[in-house]
Chains A and B, each alone.
Chain A
Amino acid sequence: MLKFLARTTALAAMIAVSLPAHAETLKMWGPEQITEPLVAQLWNGIKVDFEKANPGVTVEFMPPTGTISNGAVQAAIQSDAGPDVILTNSGIGRISVVKNAKQVVPLTEQYEKRGWKDEIYPWLYTELKGQFGGEIYEVPDGLDALGIWYHKDLFAQAGWKMPATWAEFETLMKAIEETGLQPIAIGPRTPGSAGHLFGNLLQSASGKEVIGKALRREIAFDDPSVAAGAVRLQKLIEAGYIKKEMAGLDLDGASRLWFNKRAAMFVAGPWFTANARKAGYDLANAGYAPMPSDIKGADIPTGGVGWSWLVPVNSKQPELAMKWIDFMLSDAVMKKRAQDPASTMIYPREIPGVEPPTPVLKDIFAAAAGGVGYNPSVYLPGPVLDTYFQVIQGLISGQIGGEDGMKQIQAKMAEAK
């Protein structure tokens, strides 16, 4: 009997030792392309590293099914069965949606306490601090830099070059159109795709400063100095350089047009490398350049915070969520991600000595080295965004003019005050 008791006690002790003291599960949502083997490999590696660094913790990836734009994040949080930490397409416009609904935790205190403040570019921290009266609700994971992607081989064969001025750019579009190719593809059924080209056009026509002022409500969107980009889009549609039929395309449809070389140009950010890989496109053939502009200093990519970490108010493991963010901001993880072939973004701080894994990413990093302009899709207040995207669809389908469209956006801006 004693022997039996001793054996049972020893077995129980062994089990207790082998089991972690506090078994915890961190439910994490994102990233978008985790179904791609290369991306999955990277993220599963990060998961294993985190679990090693935090004995007893299991990271569980929830199915990556959406963003704030399509309501999936809000629905997941509201269900109370959502993740503990979320990686999502962000930007002040989208964050304001979940912030106003009190669905995410303010993280300002953590920036000081955990040193996140020093883990991102100082200008980025300043920008985040200025968005919601000093309160910060997100931790940037990646920045966007939207510019023109083109086929190097097509351009070389035809003797085309990415021009420096808008007039030359129009001439280039005319030349491309005359060959029977679509000069530029856009898929405005997907909000992001609509905003990428339109943001580029606004900045090219008005400059970064003017667009910044419009976003800060210092100038009205229907002011001619801001509306110029929308009028440009209207003219491109009227000239047939952008086909009205494209209003029926989504991001995939427009990408397909570009990947199949039926369109010469496409506006996208560094994340497009993932779409290119998926489509089997040779990334060595992809060229990248900012939208030409006649305004000095305006020929830079548009962008902003592209991806951010959020902590839902109903996170079951808020402290573990903070630890996860600490981990993601660490040098080791940041370097691992930046050098990985699955890398698709600009990181929120400078990572010295890291060579981008693809040539086109190198071009994008170089173009964005001097900073990026504003992609209004991620800066506009949430209630204005829908109108903004619909106006772009209206412009492309020829239902409204540039000035009318900007009036509608301005009316929503006034309402959203």
Chain B
Amino acid sequence: MAGHTGGTSARMSKRRVAGSGSADGDAGTAFWLMAPALTLYAVFTLLPIAATFWLSFNSSAGFNTSARFVGLDNYAKAAQDPIVWKSLVHTFLWLAYHVVMAGGLGLLLALAVSRLRVTQVFFRTAFFLPHLVSLAVVGVIWANIYDPFFGLLNTALTRIGLGAFTRGWLSDPALVLFSVNVASSWQGFGLYMLLFIAGLQNIDHSLYDAAEVDGANAFQKLIYVTLPGLREVTTFVVSLAMINGLKGFATVFVMTNGGPFYQSELITTYIYRLAFQSQDHGLAAVLCILLSLLALAITIVFNRWRARLSQ
């Protein structure tokens, strides 16, 4: 088999060596084959990135002819804008909430569901269903659940005698970001659950048998067998949750529009507000760059952490 493979590659090498012109021809063909994809990438990715940079150095008028070069003014404006800092803090909090709540719930449910034999498919499907609902619709549903006067949550709390716990879930400054994140996490946990279930199925069952022989209880098996066995999936889920967290927009936009009084403002919602409502494209472009840098920084830190974990 090895000889056969070696023979094939030798023949291919010979063919390449036989005519250097044909190697050039391959490269040319490859270029033309890649050209449509490269063009699309340039038009839809590179050009918008370049345009964003260009906009960030221009006045707020956007794409019309009155846009003028203002240097670093927009960057200075962003640094002095308290809402930018507030939304930055909220974005980090949002990310953390999403990783813990959506990822955590995904793990817990995966652990619970994977033990089921007959009803596993039903529960897997049922828990995954919210993921099929668009975030905008999820926002509308949860805004109604949180309605302080007619909402399901406060009504249920009152009915079961926990009226003291009723809240203005979307009006309480200390709660609003968390409340909205619950809605967003509810939509996202199903996917993470499926990933964890797949990870659980890949754990070698003999490890559990060995642990049992050693007298490990359920909790010890979880700590010493299950969680280490899920390490790869966990890092993947965390990275996915962080990406989804950074993209957080729709639920906030629908449920609070960043309020009350900027208490749920994220970088993404502030970008939308600046670009499309105030037409301040310059400042919005600066925040887009800030968000990209944030994503880049998180990716680098996360990858280093993952590399250290796998060593």
CB-CB contacts of B157-174 with A at 8 A, as 1s and 0s?
Answer: 000000000011111110
A380-402 interface with B by 8 A CB criterion:
382-383, 386, 390-391, 393-394, 396-397, 399-400
With both chains docked as a complex, state the minimum distance between the C-beta of B81 and any C-beta of chain A, in angstroms.
Answer: 11
Task: Please classify how large the interface on chain A is, using the bins under 10, 10 to 19, 20 to 34, 35 or more.
Answer: 35 or more
Render B85-105 as a binary contact track against A, CB cut-off 8 A, 1 for contact.
000000000000000000000
Q: Are B61 and A189 in contact (CB under 8 A)?
A: no
Answer yes or no: A276 CB below 8 A from chain B CBs. Answer: no
Contact of B260 among A101, A182, A382, A393 (CB under 8 A): A393
Other A-B contacts than A101-B279, A248-B170, A394-B261, 15 sampled, CB-CB below 8 A, are A71-B272, A71-B276, A74-B279, A182-B149, A188-B259, A189-B259, A246-B168, A247-B260, A249-B149, A253-B143, A256-B149, A257-B150, A386-B273, A393-B260, A399-B263
B262 to chain A, nearest CB (A): 6
Chain A contacts for B262, CB-based, 8 A:
390
CB distance from A388 to the nearest CB of B (A): 12
Closest 10 CB pairs of A and B: A71-B276, A248-B170, A394-B261, A245-B168, A247-B171, A248-B171, A245-B148, A393-B260, A247-B260, A397-B260
- Residue A243 CB within 8 A of the other chain: yes
Query: In the complex the two chains form, is B147's CB within 8 Å of A97's CB?
Result: no
Contact of B173 among A70, A71, A399 (CB under 8 A): A399
Residue of B nearest to A405 (CB): B261
B61 touches A248 (CB 8 A): no
**CB nearest to A384 among chain B residues:** B278
A233 to chain B, nearest CB (A): 13
Given the complex, which residues of B lie within 8 Å of A244, measured CB to CB?
Answer: 168, 171-172
Q: 14 pairs across A/B with beta carbons < 8 Å? A: A71-B276, A100-B61, A182-B149, A245-B167, A247-B168, A248-B170, A249-B147, A249-B149, A250-B143, A382-B278, A383-B278, A391-B261, A397-B171, A397-B173
A69 within 8 A of B: yes
Q: Say which residue of B147, B167, B278, B279 sits within 8 Å of A253 (CB atoms).
A: B147
B-chain residues with CB within 8 Å of residue A103 when the two chains form the complex: 64
Instruction: Report the Cα distance A262→B150, complex, angstroms.
Output: 10
Question: Which among B62, B148, B171 is the interface contact of A101 at CB below 8 angstroms?
Answer: B62
Q: Which single residue of chain B is at the shortest CB-CB distance from A191? A: B257
Contact partners of A386 in chain B: CB under 8 A: 273, 277-278
Question: In residues 60-75 of chain A, which contact B (Cβ within 8 Å)?
Answer: 69-71, 74-75
Interchain nearest-CB distance for A403 vs B (Å): 15
Q: Is B63 an interface residue (CB 8 A)?
A: yes
Residues of B within 8 A of A382 (CB): 278-279
| Interface assignment of B56: CB less than 8 Å from any CB of chain A | no
User: Helix, strand, loop or mixed for chain A's interface?
Assistant: helix
Total B residues in contact with A, Cβ cutoff 8 Å: 36
Residues of A within 8 A of B (CB): 69-71, 74-75, 78, 97-98, 100-103, 182, 188-189, 243-250, 253, 256-257, 260, 262, 382-383, 386, 390-391, 393-394, 396-397, 399-400
Residue B311, interface by CB 8 Å? no
Instruction: Give the complex CA separation of A383 and B282 in angstroms.
Output: 14
| B263 partner residues in chain A, CB cutoff 8 A | 397, 399
A101 with B173: CB separation less than 8 A: no
Given contacts A74-B276, A97-B279, A244-B168, contact A102 B66 (CB under 8 A): yes
Check if A245 sits within 8 Å of B149, measured CB to CB. yes
Residues of A within 8 A of B206 (CB): none
Task: Tell me whether A69 and B277 are in contact in the complex, defined as CB-CB below 8 angstroms, given that A246-B148, A249-B147 are known contacts.
Answer: yes
B149 in complex: contacting residue of A71, A98, A257, A383, CB < 8 Å? A257
Chain B: CB-nearest residue to A390? B261
A250 contacts which chain B residues (CB < 8 A)? Answer: 143
Q: CB-CB < 8 A to B276: which residues of A?
A: 70-71, 74-75
Query: What separation, in Å, do the CA atoms of A250 and B168 have in the docked complex?
Result: 13
Closest chain B residue to A69, Cβ basis = B277
Does A189 lie within 8 Å of B148, measured CB to CB? no
Please give me the residue from chain B that is nearest to A382 by CB atom.
Answer: B278
Contacts of A98 in B (CB 8 A): 279
Known contacts A71-B277, A397-B171; is-contact A247 B149 (Cβ 8 Å): no
Distance, CA A99 to CA B66, complexed state (A): 12
Inter-chain CA distance A124–B277, complex, in Å, is: 26
B170→A189 contact, CB < 8 A: yes
B256 in the interface (beta carbon within 8 A): yes
A248 partner, pick from B168, B277, B279, beta carbons under 8 A: B168
Q: Which residue of B lies closest to A194 (CB)?
A: B259
Give the Cβ gap from B102 to chain A, nearest Cβ, in Å.
Answer: 23
Q: Quick one: closest A residue to B276, CB to CB?
A: A71
- Using CB atoms, name the residue of chain A closest to B63: A78
* Residue among A78, A245, A256 with max Cβ neighbours from chain B (10 Å): A245
Q: Whole-angstrom distance between the alpha carbons of A382 and B63 in the complex? A: 18
Is residue B192 within 8 Å, beta carbon to beta carbon, of the partner chain? Answer: no
CB <8 Å contact, B61 and A246: no
Residue-by-residue, is B270-300 near A (CB-CB < 8 Å gives 1, otherwise 0)?
A: 0011011111100000000000000000000
A270 to B123, CA, bound (A): 50
Complex: A389 Cα to B20 Cα, angstroms: 70
CA of A246 to CA of B259 in the docked complex: distance in angstroms? 12
Alpha-carbon separation in the docked complex, A393 to B261 (Å): 5
Known: A245-B149, A386-B273. A101 touches B61 (CB 8 A): yes
Instruction: For A189, give its contact among B62, B172, B256, B277 (CB under 8 Å).
Output: B256
* Shortest distance between the CB of A125 and any CB in chain B (Å): 27
Q: List residues 143-196 of chain B with CB under 8 A from any CB of chain A.
A: 143, 146-150, 167-173, 176
Which residues of the partner chain B approach A69 to less than 8 Å between Cβ atoms?
277
Q: Does B149 contact A390, Cβ atoms closer than 8 Å?
A: no
Residues of A with C-beta under 8 A to B143: 250, 253
CB contacts (< 8 Å) of A400 on chain B: these are 261
* Residue B13 at the chain A interface, CB threshold 8 Å: no
Say whether B119 faces chain A, with CB atoms less than 8 Å apart: no
B217 at interface (Cβ–Cβ under 8 A)? no
